[in-house]
Amino acid sequence: MDILTIILLIIGFVLLIKGADMFVDGASDLATKLKIPAMIIGLTIVAFGTSAPEAAVSVTSALNHSNAIAISNIVGSNIFNLLVVVGITAIIYKIDIDDVSLKQDFPVLLISSILLLLFIVTSSQISRIEGIIFLIGIIAYVALLIVKSKKESKNMPVGTTHLSNIMIVLFIIVGLAFILIGSDLVVDASKDIALSLGMSETLVGLTIVSIGTSLPELMTSVTAAYNKNTGIAIGNAVGSCIFNILFIVGLTTTITPIATTNVMVIDTIIMILALIITYILAYDKKDFNRKDGIILVSLFIVYMIYIIIRN
């Protein structure tokens, strides 16, 4: 471990924090300017933007014909989003969940997750046809959100924004760039530090790298929660999970079919259980409170212990 690695780690965290702040400010003002609910902005622009690291890893693997990592990357990221991103966000500030999200977005994620599990267990690979089915799913889902936003925008009052149109675009682009560069620096520096402390490459890949690709979602949702933009916070977490399965797995398997393994089955089942637990916690109260957040984060710690023992 050298001083340069530590400096790069600090720079990475600074870029993550500043980038998330700019990204949320830009997205929030965009929602106000367009009279679109913050939840929809979170489910689309913010969710798709913060999923860029997962997309880059999976698509690059597919192009190199070594894309078995795509599923573990996506499933691990979704487990992190559901348990840690939602959990830590709820610990910081209570997240109110509207009926539409409970009746539409969570079910879409559950159906997508179950479909992924079925594709894994019923064949030795996830085929191109199945990948295309996922891509059709994400197109239909985004189209549904666009139609929904047009209907809701008619009834929304015009709010006040703090940024001009040009600054909104700059804040979103620069903020996302800072998030992606920062997360890359943090992952690389953390890997070097962990390896120098004696951790195996396999364990580093399953923990630091999988968590690292989800840092954009975590920092964006935490920043949104701190600024009381809970619609963006929960929309980012749920939207990223949907995007990960329907678009990233869809695109990756359309490029090259993915061979399935027993480990994929186990991890996908764990992902579905994490989703069901998250949904149950929100359903009755229509929110995630601090107690729920602690439960979710605790479950992730248990999952990490299981991963370490398994490997």
Domain ranges of the chain: 37-157+199-310
Mean predicted confidence (pLDDT) in 40-59: 76
Mean pLDDT over residues 175-201, rounded?
78
Give residue for tokens 């396999």. Answer: 202
pLDDT-based confidence at 206, cuts 50/70/90? low
Strands (E), the chain: 95-96, 125-126, 258-259, 287-288
Residue 94 φ/ψ, nearest 5 degrees: -60, 130
Measured over the CA atoms of residue 264, residue 266, residue 269 and residue 273, the dihedral's sign is negative
Closest CA to 54 of 190, 211, 268: 211
pLDDT value at residue 281:
93
Greater confidence (301 vs 188) lies with 301
Check pLDDT > 90 for residue 231.
no
Question: Using CA of residue 120, residue 264, residue 45, residue 147, what is the dihedral sign?
Answer: positive
What pLDDT, on a 0 to 100 scale, did the predictor assign at position 47? 80
- The position carrying tokens 């400010």 is 25
287 has which bridge partners?
96
Q: How far apart are alpha carbons 47 and 75 in whole angstroms?
A: 16
Supply the pLDDT for residue 66: 59
**Correct CATH for 37-157+199-310 of 1.10.630.10, 3.40.630.30, 1.20.1420.30, 3.40.50.300:** 1.20.1420.30
Residue 130's pLDDT band (cuts 50, 70, 90): very high
Q: Which of 60-64, 180-184, 204-208, 286-290 has the lowest mean pLDDT?
A: 204-208
Task: Give residue 286's region: left, alpha or beta (phi > 0; psi -120 to 50).
Answer: left
Q: What percent of the chain has pLDDT over 70?
A: 89
pLDDT of residue 200: 62
Confidence check: pLDDT of 202 > 60:
no
Which is higher by pLDDT, 146 or 250?
250
Residue with tokens 């996830």: 126
pLDDT at 201: 54
Assess contact for 178 and 19: CB atoms under 8 A: yes
At residue 205, does pLDDT exceed 60? no
| Contact yes or no for 52/243 (Cβ under 8 A) | no
Q: What is the DSSP string of 6-28?
A: HHHHHHHHHHHHHHHHHHHHHHH
The pair of structure tokens assigned to 119 is 């594709």
Average pLDDT of the chain, as a whole number: 83
